[in-house]
């Protein structure tokens, strides 16, 4: 008789009479592969985690006799925020509570206890509900359990629907069907990391086979990865950016924004229709170079940089290359030039504020901020709606002593521009280094300063490695 009481307790009745019909009638539950679960009496269920419905759905899969001795793993601090909810969940599901902040204790202790006493457990190896519809990286705890309990089969389950029916941050559930796919029970021989990886793979495969034929909304094309090569005049940045573009074009479609627009594919330059803006920019740039004094140089140079920034947008729109290499980044150049014109005001804070304003990320800057007062150019650009310049994804700074670069410029034999003196270039270099420091620390942009006097082949190789590394980094969207 004890057995009967064990099975038909109030808890089981709530599951059978209230929760299961509610899930079926309100949401709809479709199970594929239920036989995989019915075959064994001991198991560890693992599933992807997107919603609070997940645990209830997995309980709805279980045979009635297993309801009382199956326990999901749940985060204690999340549910303990509201006492009645905690009590309700604790009564209904009898979870194994895990305290995420208690580092000292073995987090697997509770699970091992239950497994030792012959009970089954449900684990969400992602650890948290994560981004809806995406499977996160699996934590290794499940692998460690599998190593210790090799005789307990692991059943992978893929849940699709809860991420739409009752996702995170949603105030109410919506009736949306739940598709539950139960994979075949797995027994492993490898080590902890292998097991975790293969389980993650298994869930991913289930997810692909489940959602393959579903229509998806078109995604916006990925913006080009932008690499800026910085340096004062005569530092060799044009040469380096051309070499880098050529080398990268082996695998990608690359566009180089230099004094001319150049496209590279398979290590060769490609002919394309020139853009009209490019012609305008060239003319403005030529005019700027003839300026007799710094005062006359400022406005045409600013216009040239703005046009250059505009060209970056045009290139992305019409040609959408994989990688955009910039011979000098308009936004950073504009900021760094402030060191020459207003060196006395230009410190790290001003630089950071200027970059924020110029890139249009300055919700915090008020109308009468001191930065705007000190740099009226910023206020003007903002007023004319020009302060939305593009920040690069990676920055390479070629650092060269001003004396060296002046010597190089002399060597070219061209007419020297007004700012190409040792004193001005030293200031400009200071400006660049400061901006590099700011974008690295405050804007979290992949940045590296290299010695410009190194050999070009070596520079190119290290730049390519650096760019690959930057591309590999997942963009961080908070």
The binding site for another protein (CB under 8 A) comprises 28, 30, 32, 132, 161, 164, 167, 169-170, 172, 174-179, 213-217, 220
Q: How far is the CB of 75 from another protein (least distance, A)?
A: 22
Q: How far is the CB of 24 from another protein (least distance, A)?
A: 10
Q: How far is the CB of 206 from another protein (least distance, A)?
A: 15
Buried b (16+ CB within 10 A) or exposed e, 144-162: bbbbebeebbbbbbbbbbb
Closest to another protein by CB, 12 or 176: 176
Q: How far is the CB of 428 from another protein (least distance, A)?
A: 40
User: Of 334, 287, 337, which Cα lies nearest the Cα of 309?
Assistant: 334
- Number of Cβ within a 10 Å radius of residue 342: 13
Question: Tokens for 226?
Answer: 């932008």
Closest to another protein by CB, 133 or 190: 133
Question: Tokens for 236?
Answer: 């060799």
Sign, CA dihedral 14-16-17-21, equals positive
DSSP annotation of 383 reads H
Q: How far apart are the first and last CA of the chain?
A: 56
Sign, CA dihedral 351-355-358-363, equals negative
Closest to another protein by CB, 169 or 367: 169
Closest to another protein by CB, 163 or 309: 163
Closest to another protein by CB, 167 or 231: 167
- Decide if 311 contacts 257 (C-beta within 8 A): yes
Residues 6+ positions from 142 with CB-CB distance below 8 Å: 44, 46, 123, 125, 154, 195, 196, 199
Q: How far is the CB of 225 from another protein (least distance, A)?
A: 22
In the sheet with 254-257, reading across from the earlier edge strand, the strands are 268-270, 261-265, 254-257, 323-327, 225-230, 394-399, 446-451
User: Of 88, 54, 294, 372, which Cα lies nearest the Cα of 302?
Assistant: 294
Closest to another protein by CB, 83 or 216: 216
Q: How far is the CB of 158 from another protein (least distance, A)?
A: 14
Match 């045009």 to its residue by tokens.
Answer: 314
Torsion, Cα 53 55 61 65, to 10 degrees, reads -140
Q: How far is the CB of 179 from another protein (least distance, A)?
A: 6
Q: How far is the CB of 172 from another protein (least distance, A)?
A: 7
Closest to another protein by CB, 216 or 367: 216
User: Of 439, 437, 424, which Cα lies nearest the Cα of 341?
Assistant: 424
Q: How far is the CB of 398 from another protein (least distance, A)?
A: 39
Q: How far is the CB of 174 from another protein (least distance, A)?
A: 6
- Name the region of 287 (left: φ>0; alpha: ψ -120 to 50; beta: rest): alpha
Q: How far is the CB of 245 from another protein (least distance, A)?
A: 32
Question: Tokens for 45?
Answer: 């269920």
The phi and psi torsions of 159 (rounded to 5 degrees) equal -110, 125
Q: Where are the alpha helices (DSSP H) in 227-293?
A: 237-248, 276-289
Closest to another protein by CB, 48 or 178: 178
Closest to another protein by CB, 2 or 218: 218
Let me know how long the chain is: 478
- Decide if 199 contacts 125 (C-beta within 8 A): yes
Closest to another protein by CB, 178 or 196: 178
Closest to another protein by CB, 138 or 158: 158
């Amino acid at each position: 008789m004890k057995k009967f009481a064990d099975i038909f307790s109030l808890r089981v009745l709530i599951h059978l009479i209230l929760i299961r019909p509610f899930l079926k009638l309100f949401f709809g539950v479709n199970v594929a592969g239920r036989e995989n679960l019915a075959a064994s009496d001991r198991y560890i269920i693992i599933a992807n985690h997107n919603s609070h419905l997940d645990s209830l759905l997995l309980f709805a899969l279980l045979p009635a006799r297993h309801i009382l001795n199956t326990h999901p793993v749940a985060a204690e601090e999340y549910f303990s925020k509201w006492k009645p909810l905690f009590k309700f969940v604790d009564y209904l599901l009898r979870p194994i509570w895990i305290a995420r902040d208690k580092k000292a204790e073995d987090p697997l202790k509770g699970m091992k206890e239950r497994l030792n006493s012959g009970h089954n457990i449900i684990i969400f190896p992602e650890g948290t509900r994560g981004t809806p519809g995406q499977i996160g990286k699996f934590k290794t705890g499940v692998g460690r359990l599998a190593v210790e309990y090799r005789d307990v089969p692991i059943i992978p389950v893929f849940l699709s629907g809860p991420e739409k029916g009752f996702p995170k941050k949603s105030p109410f559930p919506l009736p949306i069907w739940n598709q539950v796919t139960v994979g075949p029970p797995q027994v492993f021989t490898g080590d902890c990391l292998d097991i975790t990886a293969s389980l993650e793979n298994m869930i991913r495969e289930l997810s692909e086979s489940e959602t393959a034929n579903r229509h998806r909304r078109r995604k916006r094309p990925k913006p080009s990865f932008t690499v800026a090569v910085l340096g004062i005049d005569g530092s060799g940045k044009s040469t380096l950016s051309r070499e880098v573009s050529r080398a990268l074009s082996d695998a990608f479609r690359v566009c180089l924004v230099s004094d001319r627009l150049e496209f590279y594919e398979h290590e060769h330059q490609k002919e394309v229709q020139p853009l009209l803006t490019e012609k305008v920019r060239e003319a403005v740039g030529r005019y700027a170079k003839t300026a007799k004094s710094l005062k006359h140089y400022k406005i045409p140079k600013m216009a040239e940089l703005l046009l250059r920034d505009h060209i970056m947008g045009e290139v992305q729109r019409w040609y959408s290359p994989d990688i955009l290499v910039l011979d000098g980044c308009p936004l950073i150049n504009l900021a760094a030039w402030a060191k020459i014109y207003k060196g006395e005001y230009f410190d790290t804070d001003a630089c950071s504020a200027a970059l924020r304003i110029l890139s249009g990320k300055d919700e915090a800057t008020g109308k009468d901020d001191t930065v705007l007062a000190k740099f009226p150019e910023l206020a003007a650009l903002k007023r004319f709606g020009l302060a939305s310049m593009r920040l690069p994804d990676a920055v390479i700074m070629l650092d060269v002593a001003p004396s060296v670069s002046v010597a190089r410029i002399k060597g070219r034999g061209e007419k020297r521009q007004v700012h190409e003196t040792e004193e001005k270039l030293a200031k400009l270099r200071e400006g660049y280094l400061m901006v590099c420091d700011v974008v690295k620390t405050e804007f979290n942009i992949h940045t590296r300063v290299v010695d410009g006097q190194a050999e070009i082949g070596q520079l190119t190789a290290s730049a390519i490695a650096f760019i690959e590394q930057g591309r590999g980094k997942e963009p961080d969207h908070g």
